[in-house]
Amino acid sequence: MVLEYANKEAKAGVGAVGRHLLVEMKGCSNLNDQEIIREMLKEAVEACNATLIGVEVHKFNPHGVSGMAIIGESHLSIHTWPEFGYAAVDIFTCGSRVDPYDALPVFKKVLKPREISVIEIRRGLLEDLENNISCERK
Residues labelled as active-site residues: 74, 79, 94
Of the candidates 21, 23, 18, 24, the one whose C-alpha atom is nearest the C-alpha of residue 6 is 18
CA dihedral sign of residues 110, 111, 117, 119? negative
Whose CA is closest to 103, among 120, 122, 84, 123? 120
| 3-class secondary structure, 39 | helix
85 and 28 in contact (C-beta within 8 Å)?
Answer: yes
User: Which 3 state secondary structure label does DSSP give 98?
Assistant: coil
